[in-house]
Amino acid sequence: MTGTPRIAVVTYDARGEQHKDRDLPVLVDALREAGADAVAVHWDDPSADWAAFDLALIRSTWDYSWRAEEFTAWAERCGKATRLANPVGVVRWNADKRYLGQLAEAAVPAVPTRYFAPGDPVDLPADREYVVKPASGAGARYAARYPAGERDAALRQVERMHTEGFTVMVQPYLGSIDTYGERALQFFGGHLLHASVKGAVLAPGTPYDADKVAHPDLRPWQPTAAELAVAEQALAAVPVDAELLYARVDLVTGPDGEPCVMELELIEPNLFLDLHPESVPRVVRAVLAAAG
């Protein structure tokens, strides 16, 4: 690459509604101030010329989980036209939350998860509170928390999700989330960027198809040595031979009092730059290095 780097900051089309990515204009402006030709581009814009960019930086493609096959196909095309971050192999692996089972097999502490594809017989817990959600999802969409033994409402949710083609995940609800929250450790350019903690997202009795606040009571967090170790262990276990420009590891406290992985966000994690403005220069430097 020579001259001014051209960077597509890839997002979603809000279709006339208020855009939910508050970091998008901050990042685009900061990249421009640093000398890049940066522009926000919708991932599904048919007129986008991805080959015209030195880097396509996936940032807030937050409608992808309902269009996973279409999104993966786009990532394949985009990755052939220019450098894609994170790379398409990472996108393909991380788009399906069955990766949690792979992490567990690699001895990474992770929330125990069972998966039920359409047509599978479904076994729901009768002795503990649990969560039902899709294996391809984001922002707590189609996620709900059920008390022990509440089977009928949960099965109606499973039936609808199976009808729509989703594989269903069932996890124990960890009560520690109500007390200690969920910690998000952000990595950029291979190093810890910053960390945050948020309150519980799923309130008892909230319908699975209701709108939810994805990051309630969000505030800065100083990760413990144990949390950092588990996060790094999870990242080291990613079975894709590709460099991760960015990553977010979401951790909760397990029944043993130790941190475990709730989710590993490698596609379009919210960076929470509005909460951590001091991180913007580091992000910009890493993105420019990736473009060059």
Quick one: pLDDT band at residue 2, thresholds 50, 70, 90?
A: low
Q: In the predicted model, what is the mean pLDDT of the chain?
A: 93
pLDDT score at 139 = 57
User: Is there a contact between 232 and 181 (Cβ–Cβ < 8 Å)?
Assistant: no
pLDDT score at 209 = 76
User: Is it true that the peptide bond before 270 is cis, omega within 30 degrees of 0?
Assistant: no
Average pLDDT over residues 97-116: 96
- Cα separation, 137 vs 10, whole angstroms: 18
Dump pLDDT digits (tens) for 120-173. Answer: 999 999 999 999 999 886 656 788 999 987 889 999 999 999 999 889 999 999
pLDDT score at 16 = 86
Size of the chain in residues:
292
- Tell me: pLDDT of 98 over 90: yes
DSSP 8-state symbol, 211: -
pLDDT score at 204 = 78
Residue type, 169: M
Dump pLDDT digits (tens) for 3-26. Answer: 899 999 999 999 989 899 999 999
Average pLDDT over residues 88-105: 95
Question: DSSP E strands: which ranges in the chain?
Answer: 6-11, 37-42, 55-60, 83-85, 114-116, 130-134, 144-146, 168-172, 182-188, 191-198, 219-220, 246-253, 259-265
- Tell me: pLDDT of 184 over 60: yes
pLDDT score at 1 = 44
Q: The tokens 């998000």 sit on which residue?
A: 184
DSSP 8-state symbol, 5: P
Dump pLDDT digits (tens) for 243-284. Answer: 999 999 999 999 999 999 999 999 999 999 999 999 999 999
- Cα separation, 104 vs 292, whole angstroms: 36
Dump pLDDT digits (tens) for 219-230. Answer: 999 999 999 999
Q: How far is CA 268 from CA 22, 64, 185, 205, 229, in A?
A: 14, 9, 14, 29, 23
pLDDT score at 205 = 76
pLDDT score at 215 = 82
Report residue 12 as tokens.
């979603």
- Tell me: pLDDT of 196 over 90: yes
pLDDT score at 140 = 62
Q: How many other CB atoms are found less than 10 A from the CB of residue 188?
A: 20
pLDDT score at 138 = 62
User: Is there a contact between 280 and 25 (Cβ–Cβ < 8 Å)?
Assistant: no
